Amino acid sequence: MKTRDKIIHAALELFNENGEPNVTTNHIAAHMGISPGNLYYHFRNKEEIIHCIFDEYAQELRVRFQPREEAALSSDSLLQYLDAVFMLMWRYRFFYANLPDILSRDSELQHKYLQAQENLHQDIMTVMRHFRTLGLVTLDDEELQSLANTLKLVASSWICYQTAQAPQAKITKAVIYQGVLQILSIIRPLTSAQGREVVLQLESHYCNQVRRDVS
């Protein structure tokens, strides 16, 4: 792994652990055992590091969240889907903890973020229309929009919200799985009998995951 990538990952690690405002470029360099000058050899400034982290995040989001025909069909692949998204959010959780501040400092990043959000929204809508076609949910277009917004908001706020509840506690996978369960609990009342089946399967899976993780 190249130094540049190591910096990105060290920064991500420290940002997640201590919050971006509390991590200085000198901290990152010291943590890695390199000089501050070397860090600035690879990045123009701290902002650029954050930028690059975001790019990695957005790239992964694109890849992981690519809606596929088959994805919607089996509850198995749906499961991988949810897993992937929440894990992604967990790996870049520092970002969610300071989003307004980080974005207000960097209008280019703001633009990229909005783009990513827009893509995400489209993908969620695609997946959900697919569900409707399959008869898993029964919603009109407006309700679908509302649901997509709620899901986006809940998903992207989950980690920040949980962190606020217990900042000292490390965010564990169990917390992530509870987030998925929260999402499922929002969807459940909107499903058809057939859809409910799928949701219940997923819920039982994640309940087990939480139980395993806690113990």
Partner DNA sequence: TATGAATGAGCGTTCATTCAT
Partner DNA sequence: GATGAATGAACGCTCATTCAT
Q: Which residues bind DNA (CB under 7 A)?
A: 2-3, 23-27, 33-42, 44-47
The set of long-range contacts for 89-93, using a CB threshold of 8 Å and a minimum separation of 24, is: 89/155, 89/156, 89/158, 89/159, 89/176, 90/159, 90/171, 90/173, 90/176, 91/12, 91/16, 91/57, 92/12, 92/16, 92/53, 92/57, 93/16, 93/159, 93/160, 93/163, 93/171
Least separation in angstroms between CB 76 and its own copies: 24
Give the integer Cα–Cα distance in Å for 119 and 127.
Answer: 12
- How many Cβ atoms are within 10 Å of 6's Cβ, its own excluded? 14
- What track of x and - describes contact with its own copies for positions 8 through 37 (by CB under 8 A)? -----------x-xx---------------
Give the integer Cα–Cα distance in Å for 206 and 201.
Answer: 9
Number of shown-chain residues binding its own copies (CB under 8 A) = 37
What is the footprint of its own copies within residues 139-168 (CB under 8 A)? Answer: 143, 146-147, 149-150, 153-154, 156-158, 160-161, 163-165, 167-168
Tell me which of DNA, its own copies, none is bound by residue 158, counting a contact when its beta carbon lies within the kind-specific cut-off of 5 to 8 angstroms: its own copies
Q: Which is closer to DNA, CB of 2 or CB of 140?
A: 2
Residues with Cβ < 8 Å from 76, sequence gap 6 or more? none
Tell me which of DNA, its own copies, none is bound by residue 140, counting a contact when its beta carbon lies within the kind-specific cut-off of 5 to 8 angstroms: none
Backbone φ, ψ for residue 180 (5° rounding): -60, -45
* 169 interacts with its own copies by CB under 8 A: no
* 193 interacts with its own copies by CB under 8 A: no
Least separation in angstroms between CB 70 and its own copies: 28
Please report, as ranges, the residues that interact with its own copies according to CB under 8 A: 19, 21-22, 97-101, 103-104, 107, 110, 113-114, 117, 143, 146-147, 149-150, 153-154, 156-158, 160-161, 163-165, 167-168, 182, 185-186, 189-190
